[in-house]
Amino acid sequence: MIKKTGLFTFLLLITAVAMAQAPSGIPTGTPEPLELTLTNIIVFIVLPVIIVILYIYWRRNRRK
């Protein structure tokens, strides 16, 4: 159990370090905040909430 946990932790840390590296050939800019336009609100807030609600509803109906 300890070996599996240690291995999992090691792999998780290696993955996090690998994904955190910035590519060397691409210029990095400063991230800009998301503009709160109607389209962005619908795409990034409303649709994910609807998808989560529908998934929960679907899972509950599947159990019954």
Neighbouring residues of 44: CB distance < 8 A, sequence distance ≥ 6 = 34
Say how many domains are in the chain: 1
Q: How far apart are CA 14 and CA 18, in angstroms?
A: 6
Query: By residue range, what is the domain housing residue 51?
Result: 36-64
In a domain, 53, yes or no: yes
Closest CA to 47 of 59, 34, 55, 32: 55
Tens-place pLDDT, residues 9-63: 888 788 777 766 667 777 777 878 889 999 999 999 999 999 999 999 999 998 7
pLDDT at 38: 95
Query: Is 44 part of any domain?
Result: yes
Residue 55 belongs to a domain: yes
In a domain, 2, yes or no: no
Whole-prediction pTM: 0.53
